[in-house]
Amino acid sequence: MENRYPELFQPFRIGKVEIKNKVVMSPMLSIGWFDEQSVISDRMIDYYVERAKGGVGAVFTCGNVPDAHLERCPFTISPFAAPERFVAQVRKLAQALHQYDTKLFVQIWFGLGRVAFSDFMEDQPVAVSEGPNRWKPEVTCREMTTEEVYGLIQAVVDGAKLIYEAGADGIDINGAYGGYMGDQFTTDVFNHRTDEFGGSMDGQLRVLTEIVRRIKEETASDYPVTCRLGTKHYMRAERQAAVPGEVYTEYGRDVEESIAMAKKLEAAGYDAFLMGNGAYDSFHWLYPPMYHKEGLWLDDFAPLTAQVHIPVIGPGKILQPQMANDAIAQGKVTAVAIGRALLADPNWVNKAAADKAEEIRPCIGCNAGCIGRIFAGQTMLCAVNADLFHEAEEALTPAETPKKVAVIGGGIAGMEAARIAAARGHKVTIYEAGAQLGGATLAANVPDYKAASRRLLKWFEHELQKTGVEVKLNCSITPEQAAALDADVLVVSTGAKAKIPPIPGVHGANVMTAVDVLLKKAPVGQNVVVIGGGQVGCEVAYELLRDGKKVSVVECLDGLVSGGTEAISAAVVLMLQDLLNYYKAEIHVSTSVKEIREHTVVIESNGTRSELPADTVVLAVGYAANDALYTALKDCGKELYLIGDARKSPGNILHAVADGNKVGRKI
């Protein structure tokens, strides 16, 4: 039978190198997994090899900073300062990938410049031109001297020679992308230099054109070099992003200028473009969370693809094989780059090749394990794939003694525990009080932008069926019933309950929880006050604003989406803030709620009280662990576990999957 995605499985060439298919792994900065010299570790090699086994045509590794001594911080330690170790590890990776006919492109990026997190910098931040730091405008970045720019070029070329020596198939230059240092050279609003690296477009591109010329001179004239290129910044102003559908004047770089740049870069000798969009000033376009549509960048790539004669490789929240195939078939891109979706499922390509797209574990765009943790300085993980970076040691081992396992609660944690335990040979039954599996995600997944999360539930259902898990719905379990179950093991996954704050009037007829609103359990009035400006409260407010409601959000902290116990991606935070501002929500931070009345809410800020009109009041002030069943079962005599939000609340999907996975392996 003919494959449904024929475009994905045709070869293409980057210079002299043939790639076996049109799916490459996009570069992602794997914080926490490098060795102490910032060199790729053996664990990272295992991670990349797993994606090669999974079918990708090429791996583009995450950026390596040149040894130019320009920026001193944990994010800019140069692996090229340990040349012997670097060459040995890259050679080891290349040889391992080649066993699966997967090619290796090693990326070099120039550093951070004005987008550096100044709190981490040991010296005054440097940038292409003097100006305010992106995150802390009160911090001024000094302009690189001309000598320092030439030193940067030399350091990039020196690093490229090590990559060539190590046997990588090519080099990717993270050049005109994302608002990073290289992109600051190529963007008018950030490049005010008066030397040969500023002024005209040729001057702004000089760093990139000099680098490709010298790499090919000092390695081999046909050695493939690709360039990371962003087509559109989506900036309304400095540090201000546009939102989807907004009519605005582009402050940064637009598609037409990027096309002109691409032609010059092609003429300079680059062999392909690895595309992108957005910048640190429009952070949620650079690292698009769930609120952005899938494939959001593809239409911007199409006109550029039509104007150049080298491959255009397009990433950008491409989560499903059909979208990837269609993008190539329609000429929007030559090939696709898959990033976060390969974190979620390393076998994405092989499953597409086998026409088993429904078995692909979907990335849900939450940014909880990847982007959120990376920019919090924490180890990179994946919310839906607990095995990430444990590829070598995490094969499921059959249970020594198969047991009867009862999982009480069919949310994410419960389903993951059941899936893993059943795959190891246990006989597993899920007892779910509701009419559907999914727990708290059933309400959270209602908005149209949560399609990927809804696919995750379908994936879990498919996996549970495949592993033989019995599911009993509409089945509430009392402590006595749980203790009497024919089970050796009880896994309590009963989730969390919405907190009800002690506010006068909180039990009034006009008060609803966020879950009630999302599940449409009662009509919502025109004037709505949402109490709680965390992620849940802001998502509910966004839904209501799109429904035409007038919404006020009241938050006791000094900013929206600023609480919680888990790292929340800045892309999520900034996009929710931008969306609420665009749809004209009334925001009250550092504000407490004193009373809920029939048609108003009394609030207090800085000692002053006022009233907000409120036909409906929505409570979104967090959740408390629902662990009563577990507490009642502590002396039941059975092997007993507590997981998910029932164990730790507030949590998130990363915590739920990790909890379920750990217990499923332990039983």
Per-residue pLDDT tens digits for 620-631: 999 999 999 999
List, in sequence order, every residue forming a beta bridge with 632; answer none if it has no partner. Answer: none
Output the six-digit token pair for 34: 């490098």
Question: Is 47 marked active-site?
Answer: no
Residues 660 and 510 sit within 8 Å (Cβ to Cβ):
no
Per-residue pLDDT tens digits for 310-323: 999 999 999 999 99
Per-residue pLDDT tens digits for 581-621: 999 999 999 999 999 999 999 999 999 999 999 999 999 99
Q: 106 by DSSP, 3-state: which? A: strand
Q: Give the integer Cα–Cα distance in Å for 3 and 13.
A: 22
Q: Give the integer Cα–Cα distance in Å for 579 and 542.
A: 7
* Active-site position among 164, 180, 280, 431: 180
Q: Give the integer Cα–Cα distance in Å for 358 and 347.
A: 12
List, in sequence order, every residue forming a beta bridge with 609; answer none if it has no partner. Answer: 604
Residues 574 and 241 sit within 8 Å (Cβ to Cβ):
yes
* 582 and 643 inside one domain: no
pLDDT of residue 31: 82
Distances (CA, A) of 13 to 101, 106, 338: 14, 17, 18
Closest CA to 573 of 538, 619, 542, 530: 538
CATH of the domain at 273: 3.20.20.70
* 481 and 521 inside one domain: no
Q: Give the integer Cα–Cα distance in Å for 6 and 208.
A: 35
What is the Cα gyration radius of the chain?
A: 26
- DSSP labels, 160-176: HHHHHHHT-SEEEEEEE
Domain count, the chain: 3
Residues 66 and 144 sit within 8 Å (Cβ to Cβ):
no
Q: Give the integer Cα–Cα distance in Å for 157 and 216.
A: 9
* 443 and 298 inside one domain: no
pLDDT of residue 472: 98
Q: Give the integer Cα–Cα distance in Å for 398 and 425.
A: 6
Per-residue pLDDT tens digits for 207-249: 999 999 999 999 999 999 999 999 999 999 999 999 999 999 9
Closest CA to 296 of 273, 314, 271: 314
pLDDT(394) > 70? no
CATH of the domain at 518: 3.50.50.60
Q: Could you say which of 331, 355, 374 is where a domain stops?
A: 374
pLDDT of residue 195: 98
Q: Is residue 183 part of a domain?
A: yes
Q: Is residue 204 part of a domain?
A: yes
Q: Is residue 503 part of a domain?
A: no
Q: Domain containing 561: what range?
A: 511-621
Burial string for 135-146 (b: 16+ CB within 10 Å, else e) reads: beeebbbebbee
Q: Give the integer Cα–Cα distance in Å for 347 and 236.
A: 39
Closest CA to 71 of 189, 188, 180: 180
* 639 and 607 inside one domain: no
Closest CA to 457 of 472, 473, 441: 441
